[in-house]
Structure 1
Amino acid sequence: MKRVAVVDIGSNAVRGTVAEVLGSTAMRVIADERIRTRLASGLLATGRLAEDRIAASLDAVGHMVALASAHGATAVRAVATAAVRSADNGAEFIERVERETGVAVEVIDGRREAELALASAAANFDLSGRVCVADIGGGSLEVVLASDGSAETIVSLPLGAVTVTARFGSFADPPASHEIAQTRSAIRRELEDALGPSPRPARLAVCSGGTITSLVGAAAARTGASPLDVHGVTVPLGEIETVAAEVAALPIEERGSIPGIPPYRAETVLAGSLVMMELFDLLGTRTIAANRRGIREGLLLEMAGLSTPGDPA
């Protein structure tokens, strides 16, 4: 059976996924790895990708290409997202990746990210009625408002967890309540500018990205369930709000002690949670579902011929 692979060069990590195509209707993930590289570190201040972060990302991409080869993938697609597309030296970075690893890299825009997230959500969840599909990465937030699986509004905003973390600047650790309120107000303004002050409510938010899967994992851990096996898990918004409040009350070095919050997300999970809370509040969403796959699965589905860009079927 055919095997295909995707390498996702993100703002905070490089991820690699290999899947086996099972006939004309399904596929099975056989390898899935993540290496934290913090490619966007310092980007907001300098406008450039730092050399040490470039080196770490090159190593990680090389590892993922080798992973694909080891599992017999006959096709490998690599994509880069917000950090690379916004960096002054993004094109130079892509040239180095292609020269040193032999894999071509497609820099995708926010709309393409959103369409791929929608394709993944449609493959895993019931999107009937009014639904929000959101993918929050390190550099950007993609939001799709859909009715019965068809996209009506697609936006991409610079509200990634790493990007918003940089806004905290000299805030206290943990930030004081007025500092959090200030940040939430700024986030809300950007969301309202993009989606309107009173968008139609969404009954469900299907969310991908490390922030939301960590929050859902922590919510699951509070009930005694596994914080790791959260794909497809649906939780009430109140449980997410409880975890977010706990995160906000702790200094960075202690956030990773919350069951379900990986230590490597301790620095960015607060900012990411504020973005998600404001989005859910704006949309009146009360139920949250975790999608651990997102744009990588969207690409794999496309490579396997199981979907096309923007096609939720």
Structure 2
Amino acid sequence: MPKTPLYAAITLGSNSFNMLVAKTLGGRPHIIAKYKRKVRLADGILYNGSLSEEVLLRGLDCLFMFSHMLKKHAIPADKITIIATATLRNITNADDFCQRAIPILGYPIEIISGMREAELIYQGMVATTSGIGRRLVIDIGGASTEFIIGDGDTVLLKNSLAIGCVTFNHKFFASFPFKQLNFDDANSEVRSVLGDHLGALKQLGWHSVVGASGSVQSVAEILDNRKLPGTITLDVLKQLKQEVLSQSSASMLDILGISEERAPTFAAGLSILLALFDLLEIDSLHLSGGALREGVLVMLSKR
């Protein structure tokens, strides 16, 4: 009986670089291994729009690790897909990064549009998250947030906007202690960026909301650590905001249940979530089982 071939999906986000190794079983991707590193690429965007050499090297170092894992799993080049998102879409030296990555990975990086990213996020959500009816999916990344409304496999609306936990961290939460004004300013920015998109989202409507991002994951992990229900509500977010405002250290590590990995951008991600709950009048939100990287796996499994 022939051996089921392995394939790999690598996603280079503005906050995290991820790699999933999988094989197809019963027509669906079955994950064999996961690798992840908080590269925080968006941290390194300079005033001239280029990525700093220090952060660029941080990204390439992660790709060296991924390359080692590709060799370890013996994945052929034609079974690898490498997708890059917002930061590499926007920086002026993206070509330099991609050219320097090719000798490391042996395979080119595809920088996808925000709309394509939204489609893949939705596919990843549908493949991993049970539910029926029209759903609003929100994926808060490091430098962009994708909004998708869909029903079953059908995407009805999609948007990718310049709202991100790493960029908001620089803009609104760069100095400690954090104050209510920081959250107010973040809310105003989200309102401004949403603009006319807000009306289109609300006009189409939804039955439930799914969050697919590290910002949502961090809140879900806190609730799980505290043995609380996993449903994210406005009351939950307001309570966490009060805990952020009462911190004695910028590390945020006194917040019960927060992970050291997610703490640096927690306040910024929380501010975006609070703004979206307010502006979109969201009652509750549940964590998605998957997003972009799972969507890429679904795409690969169909090839």
Matched, 1:303 2:273: no
Which structure 2 segments of 5+ residues have no match?
Answer: none
Task: Provide the residue aligned with 2:38 in structure 1.
Answer: 36
After TM superposition, list the pairs within 5 Å mapping 1:1-313 onto structure 2: 1-24=4-27, 26-43=28-45, 45-74=47-76, 75-168=79-172, 171=175, 173-196=176-199, 199-200=202-203, 201-223=205-227, 234-250=231-247, 253-291=250-288, 293-305=290-302
How far did 1:49 drift? 0.9
**RCO comparison, higher one (Cα < 8 Å, 6+):** 2
Q: 1:60-95, CA deviations, whole angstroms, 9 ceiling, x for partnerless residues?
A: 112112213312334111111111110010111111
- On the 8 A contact 1:216/1:240 being kept in 2, the answer is no
Measure, in 1, the Cα distance between the counterparts of 2:216 and 2:169.
15
What one-letter code is carried by the residue in structure 2 that aligns with 1:16?
M
What is the aligned partner in structure 2 of residue 228 from structure 1? none
2:250 aligns to what SS in structure 1? helix
For 2:248 and 2:88, how far apart are their aligned partners in 1? 30
Residues 87 and 68 (structure 1 numbering): CA distance in 2 closer, same or farther, change over 3 Å? same
- Whole-Å separation in 2 of the counterparts to 1:180 and 1:202: 26
Cα distance in 1 between the residues matched to 2:105 and 2:212: 28
What is the CA-CA distance between 1:146 and the residue it aligns to? Answer: 2.3
TM, length-normalised to structure 1: 0.86
Q: 1:85, 1:107 within 8 Å by CA — same for their partners in 2?
A: yes
Change (3 A) 1:237 1:219: farther
Deviation at 1:289, TM superposition (A): 1.7
Write the letter of the residue equivalent to 1:19: A
* 1:256–1:264 Cα contact (<8 Å) kept: no
How far apart are the structure 1 equivalents of 2:206 and 2:277? 9
C-alpha distance 284-239 of structure 1, shift in aligned 2 (>3 A): same
Distance in 1 separating the partners of 2:153 and 2:243: 34
The alignment-based identity, stated in percent, is: 29
**Structure 1: gaps of 5 or more residues:** 226-232, 307-313
1:127–1:147 contact (8 Å) kept in structure 2:
no
What letter corresponds to residue 28 of structure 1 in structure 2?
A: H
C-alpha contact (below 8 Å) 1:199/1:282 kept by paired residues? no
TM-score, normalised on structure 2?
0.89
RMSD of aligned alpha carbons: 2.3
Q: Is the 8 A contact 2:210 2:285 kept in 1?
A: yes
Kindly tell me the number of residue pairs found equivalent between the two proteins. 297
Distance in 1 (alpha carbons) for counterparts of 2:13 and 2:249 = 22
Deviation, 1:249, is 3.5
CA shift in 2, pair 1:132/1:148, >3 Å = same
